[in-house]
């Protein structure tokens, strides 16, 4: 599965459904059609853990560069 790194662009902050910051989005994994499928999120203050979140569970605020989990 190919991936597209958010790398050169500023990373997105990720907030849970209660509005608390939980980490930063660092990578987007795309499916066979080139559509985003999953987002890798680094969790915690030091970002030592990471999880994959399906894009259908995320809302994006492009202007503020924020992702909200539904």
Q: Which residue has the tokens 């030091």?
A: 46
> What's the total number of domains in the chain?
1
Please give the residue that has the higher pLDDT: either 22 or 5.
22
As a whole number of angstroms, the distance between CA 64 and CA 30 comes to 23
**Parallel, antiparallel or unpaired: strands 12-15 and 66-69:** parallel
Domain of residue 50 covers: 3-69
Please give the residue that has the higher pLDDT: either 23 or 4.
23
Instruction: Give per-residue pLDDT as tens, 14-37.
Output: 999 999 999 999 999 998 998 999
Please say if the pLDDT value at position 38 is more than 70: yes
**Mean pLDDT within 40-58:** 90
| 24-49 burial code (b ≥16 CB/10 A, e <16) | bbbbbbeeeeeeebbbbbbeeeeeee
Residue 28 belongs to domain with CATH number: 2.30.30.240
């Amino acid at each position: 599965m190919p991936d597209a790194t958010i790398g050169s662009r500023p990373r997105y902050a990720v907030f849970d459904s209660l509005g608390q910051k939980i980490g930063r989005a660092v990578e987007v994994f795309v499916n066979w059609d080139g559509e985003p499928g999953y987002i890798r999120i680094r969790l915690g203050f030091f970002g030592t853990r990471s999880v994959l979140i399906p894009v259908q569970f995320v809302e994006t605020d492009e202007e503020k560069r924020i992702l909200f989990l539904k």
